[in-house]
Each structure stands twice: as C-alpha cells, then as structure tokens.
Amino acid sequence: MRQIGIGIAGFGTIGVGVYKHLVGNRRLLEERLGLELTVKKIADLDITRPRTPMPPAELFTTDWHDLINDPEVQIVVELMGGVKIPYQFVMAALEAGKIVVTANKALLAEHGKEIFAVAAEKRIPVFFEAAAAGGVPIIKALKEAFVANHIRSMHGIINGTSNYILTRMTQAGLGFEQALAEAQAAGYAEADPTLDINGWDAAHKAIILASLAYGFWVDGKDIHVEGIQNVTATDIQFAQKLGYKIKLLAVIKSDESCTENCPIEVRVHPTLVPESHVLASVNGVFNAIAVHGDVVGETLFYGRGAGQDATASAVISDLAEAAVALETPRPNFGFVPHGLYGSCTPIEEVVTPYYMRLAVIDRPGVLALITGILSEESIGISSVIQPEAHEEETVPLVLMLHAAPQGRMNRATEKIAALECVKRPPQVLRVESFA
C-alpha cells in the first residue's frame, strides 16, 4: 500500500484533532482509499505542551520550512491561523510542488486570488473544505455537485458564535453583553470575539463561497458587513411579535435576468428572517446554508460550523482527496474562474425591506413627520407598532418598511435621525423575503 506523507503546520486544537482522527481511523481510511496517510512532520511554535494524543517527539519542529524541505512530505496542512505567515508557507509549498490543504478562511478571503493563480501556474491543487462552515460540505457541493447550476442565491448562518449569542438573546431574553459572556464561559466565543461579533468571520466565508459560485475572486472592499453588537433584546422581542427571528445572515445573490458579466450581491448583516423559513430554526452554534440553483432548486446544508471534530473531519476529507490527486492529477486546482459574472452590486443599490425602531417623544404629529420623510424617499410602510407602555418621555416606534434601495433608506434614516422628536439613533435592520 502506497504511503502518503503529510506535514501539519500548526498544532493547536484543530491540528490535534486532525492527527487524532488520522491515527484513530487509519484502517477505515486505508480501506476506502487504498492509500496510507502518514504524518511525517509537525511544525508548531510550542512543541513541549502536552497534547492528547501526543505524537512522537521526532515528528516535531519549530520551523515550518522543515515541512517544505522534507522530501517525504507530499501534502502540507496549514492550520496556523493568521494571514502573513500562513501566506508565506502556502506559497512556498506550492513553489516546492506540494499539495496544500488549509482551513484558513481569512487567508483565502484576502489572498485567494494570488494563491490560486500560483496553484494553476504550478498545476498543484489547493483544498479548503474546512475554510467555510467547518464540517458542512458546502465547498465540495459548489465545486462538484452544483457544477451544472447557476447559483441563484445562498443564504447562510455561517458563524456559530454570533448564532449562539442571538439564540440566547431570543430564548432566554438576555442582553447582548450577557449572551456574549455566556458564550465565552461556554467556550463558544474567544476571549477577543471581535471577528465573530463584527461580522467579518462570516464575511471571510461569504467571500470564499461567492467566489466559488460566481467564478471571480470577490474583493472584501466590495462587500457590505455589519455585526450583531448593536442588536438589542428589544429588537429581538419586536421581531418575534412581527413573526421573525434575527440572525446574522450572509446573503449571496445573482441577478436572474442577467446572462453575461452579471453583478452579484454579497453582504453580511443582522437580518429579520421569517419564522416560517427553515433558517429561523437554526439555533446555538450550528451553521446552515440554503442554496438555490437554477437546475437543482432549493437545497439545505446543516451542521456544526466549527470545533475540533467537525473541522478535522473536513480537513481529513481534503487530505483524502489530495492523496487521490497525487495518484491521478486533475485539471481543477481549487478555483475555476469564468466570465459570466464579474462585479459586486454596491450596497447603496441593494433592495430589501426594512425594520426601523425609533425612540421618539410621545406627542401628536411625530408619526406624520416620520412618514413624510419616508414618503419623500418613496419608501412605503407595511405596518407600525407603538406600545402604550413606555419609560420617561420617549416611546418606541417600530415601522416595517417596503423594499427600497439602501441609498434611499440611508437618506431617509439621516433625515429622521435629525428630527428633534427622535431621541436616539434609529435602529435599522434588513428583512429577507427569500423570494
């Protein structure tokens, strides 16, 4: 049985999980692949910290160049985290002719275009299933199962930390800070949760998914990203009264009427999702991605988007495919560009319905002032909620607004915020209709 040598760069939680399951499921992998996957070298800055299981000491090195220079290492696995050093490592591996497996979403979101250009030039594949939605096999589906489909849309809950926080705010009535502290105590949020709560962890994944689906590498500067840090328990409660759940949603859409050089939408933000939609029931740390293809129709991918075992499963899936690629070279090196799509729609032109919550003075004529401004911007109102019970001199005023371009909504919001009767900055969230 042919032995395939593997080098692992980065031996934290995910690296340990990959090693553990490669060893534990060795016989299963050999039976299914007809190949033996063997870890030849492990690079990590800390090679003395105890792990379970603990590899033999002779496998360890503190210099990632040792993986590149070892002739017995045919496939390298990048699990270091960060961007600068992993980029150097991946480019060096490709130059050395070694197949690359990575779980690094930030690396691909920022440098995917350059990495895949070198991969195509060197004819060396890069595998990255674990870089988006952990153990959910969405990358393989986009590259293979949906190859005959124009992807009409993808709607994804692809950050487990933010989904856990919003779930606890919904189910337990917690405020944002309380729910975040609970997520950190449970190990679902990092000590520094910035990338999770500001939306950029999900945005990195959305960039990868959009790029695969539409054949051009999406630039992070061209997408719209908002986090959940300004969502309040009050917003959660009003959303429920209106028949919605609030989710941090990645929305990726194409223009169905366009046939060539078509624009796409790529945005990540808190969104009101109808309770009747399947994504509204995705709770806790779970991820889900609803994909609509023009041939296959509606599909749903659901599972754990992070964690040692889920991510290790995706990495080992890539290792298995990489090992087969050593035996049978392939024309696809990880990303296939094409010219049917080519730009992102500016957020000012994106059209959605909206939820707007205001804190206003309780006096006659206030609603007329607000509706007058909305009318000036040709934004219609579908419903209004103004509870009788209130504190101090202000009352909450909630308006559900018909679909309008973001640019018009921005102008209306600025005018409304400037009114003397509006006492706090307006809270504006998008509503997704899934039409």
Which residues participate in catalysis according to the annotation? 205
Mind spelling out the 3-state secondary structure of the chain?
Answer: CEEEEEEEECCCHHHHHHHHHHHHCHHHHHHHHCEEEEEEEEECCCCCCCCCCCCCHHHEECCCHHHHHCCCCCEEEECCCCCHHHHHHHHHHHHCCCEEEECCHHHHHHHHHHHHHHHHHHCCCEECHHHCCCCCCHHHHHHHHCCCCCEEEEEEECCHHHHHHHHHHHHHCCCHHHHHHHHHHCCCCCCCCHHHHCCHHHHHHHHHHHHHHHCCCCCHHHCEECCCCCCCHHHHHHHHHCCEEEEEEEEEEECCCCCCCEEEEEEEEEEEEECCCHHHHCCCCEEEEEEEECCCEEEEEEEECCCHHHHHHHHHHHHHHHHHHHHCCCCCCCCCCCCCEEEECCHHHCEEEEEEEEEEECCCCHHHHHHHHHHHCCCCEEEEECCCCCCCCEEEEEEEEEEEEHHHHHHHHHHHHCCCCECCCCEEEEECCCC
